[in-house]
Amino acid sequence: MRVVAGLVFLTFAGCSSILGIHDPVPGTDGGVDIDGPPGGKLEINVSQLRLDKRQAARIRVQYTSPAGGKTDVSALAQLSSSDTGVATGAAGTVSSGATAGTATLTASHASATASLTVTVANANCHPVINELKSAGAGGAADEWVELYNPCLDAVDLTDWTLVYRGPNVTTGPDSSLMFSLSGQITAGGLELYAGKDYAGAVDGRWSDANGQMGGGAGSVGLRSGPKDTGPLVDSVLYGAAADVSQMNIFLRGTPSVPPTTTSSVARQPFDGTNTFDNGVDFALTTPTPRATNTPAQ
């Protein structure tokens, strides 16, 4: 039997250099072989998860019957852990504890089994920028940024700020304040902040007639404090390499591809994935504002 390789639930620890967030790492070999019943097999869409303490990550578990039919059994498969102090699992979700370390989680269904390794870093979980769209059918101000809390606990965002820097802004202050945040974001919660021409429901809105974000290139940061000086918790820079500066402080790894007027860029394989590389963590997708991303197959 074969376990398909592949964080995540998402992710509290700020940017990589400040708070040390760690998340699911996509597999490179497509899976590992697991013995199962003749003709039947169980597959997990990740082989490794790297989590911070008190973080949750969704996984997809699929069962292929001896007849060849494939069924999503994420909510049905039983998950056991080799070290419940490090990580536990239930109903398609893996949760890390308050202890750093490594645990093996084994899924079982219809006499088939599959396993994944969970490594928990000595860092605290934190909210992330989960998805963004820099322009839409409504024009430049039809834009939005989605925040996600992959943690097992609510987080108080009072006095945090959502800020923007131009794609080539390498020194000095942030280009603009997008929104001043307040209140708590619930465990597993999604919040959406948008420009004035976005037609959907939002948790906050800015009123700039021409929007805040550059359509083809730009960068967004989440600070746990004021514009310019608050600690940078998370950030993403998007745009073609020729259009962005490698010295932009919001860049993590390589730039993400830019969104289009019909697509967004979102963390993959699903919410909260964070490998410290914008180009790896974000991919073009069908927009899902205020809704979870679909786990990769």
Could you tell me the domains of the chain? 2-124 (2.60.40.1080), 128-285 (2.60.40.1260)
Q: Quick one: average pLDDT of 244-265?
A: 96
- 166: DSSP letter: -
Which residue has 């994420």 as its token pair?
74
Dihedral (Cα; 202, 208, 210, 215), 10-degree rounding:
-50
Lowest model confidence (mean pLDDT) among 38-42, 100-104, 122-126: 38-42
Q: Quick one: average pLDDT of 223-244?
A: 96
C-alpha–C-alpha distance, residues 196 and 211, integer Å? 8
pLDDT at 9 over 90: no
C-alpha–C-alpha distance, residues 165 and 174, integer Å? 5
Q: Is the whole model's pTM more than 0.85, yes or no? A: no
pLDDT at 143 over 90: yes
Would you state the pLDDT for residue 295? 61
